Amino acid sequence: MNPDHLPSRFDGPPIAIDVRGLTKVFGNTIAVGNLFLQIPRGSFFGLVGPNGAGKTTLLSMVTGMLVPDDGVAYVGGIDIWDKPEEAKKLLGVLPDGYRLFDRMTGMALVEYMGMLRGLDKATARQRATELLAALGLSDTGKKLVADYSQGMTKKVALACALVHAPSILVLDEPFESVDPISAAGIQSILTEFVAAGGTVVLSSHVMETVEKLCDHVAILNHGQVLAAGTTEQVSAGKSLDERFRELVGGVEQTEGLDWLRQ
């Protein structure tokens, strides 16, 4: 697609998501602490960190699903908590562990989600049909989402995030439980989305996937940003995996477990 003729939904400020001092505390645990981060519009942005780094908490606050204790997040220049309806129109979200209306078929679910997002029934059905075909779910027929495998459920949830044609996609572990062929198809869809001017924010534990797909990356640990910038800048001449271990900490040496070495 010619960058000079991008859809109007991709217009807006050069920063797709602007996080300013977001903080969230659970009991005595600081999940995210006074975090600042800018995600450029039109970027494929990877968010990486160990378990408990604060990635899911951060994304939940940025997308309006979790109220921060302090700070603000702007989506397309709009304060997500001041004008949530306006900001959420720009977003397509795939949260980790997303609960779906699983007593519906995949087609009915995606069509329904499109209509909830303001599409007319005919447009929602057409888009649902095209999305399910692109994600390899056309042959599911009358099968309920409750009977889907984990990988199929992940794919239909992605279709729900895409159906209203958002300008910013926020995806928490989108490739988890997805087979390699389906993963390649999803990667193609996301790459084309970014090439057309959209923004993808991808949280993942798989460094190879992030390094392959993402042009920008941020490394989080203990609710703080350790490094952020282009993937090349953050990697600093090393593989992203090496750089990640350098910043977060190397593999712990194991002692004992002699009984496993029989």
What was the pLDDT predicted at 155? 92
Segment 198-207 shows an average pLDDT of: 92
Inform me whether the pLDDT recorded for 20 exceeds 50.
yes
Mean pLDDT score of the chain = 90
Token pair, residue 73, equals 């997040």
CA dist 256 to 45, 250, 260, Å? 40, 19, 9
What was the pLDDT predicted at 1? 36
Inform me whether the pLDDT recorded for 7 exceeds 70.
no
- Main-chain phi, psi angles of 91, to 5 degrees: -105, 140
Inform me whether the pLDDT recorded for 250 exceeds 70.
no
Segment 257-262 shows an average pLDDT of: 78
Q: 250 or 260, which is more confident?
A: 260
pLDDT digits (tens, 9 = 90+) for 73-117: 999 999 999 999 999 999 999 987 778 888 999 999 999 999 999
Task: Report the distance separating Cα 187 and Cα 168, nearest Å.
Answer: 16
Which of helix, strand or coil describes residue 82?
Answer: coil
Looking at the chain, the whole-number percentage of residues with pLDDT higher than 70 is 93
Segment 50-73 shows an average pLDDT of: 94
Dihedral, 56, 80, 158, 126 alpha carbons, nearest 10: 170
Inform me whether the pLDDT recorded for 224 exceeds 70.
yes
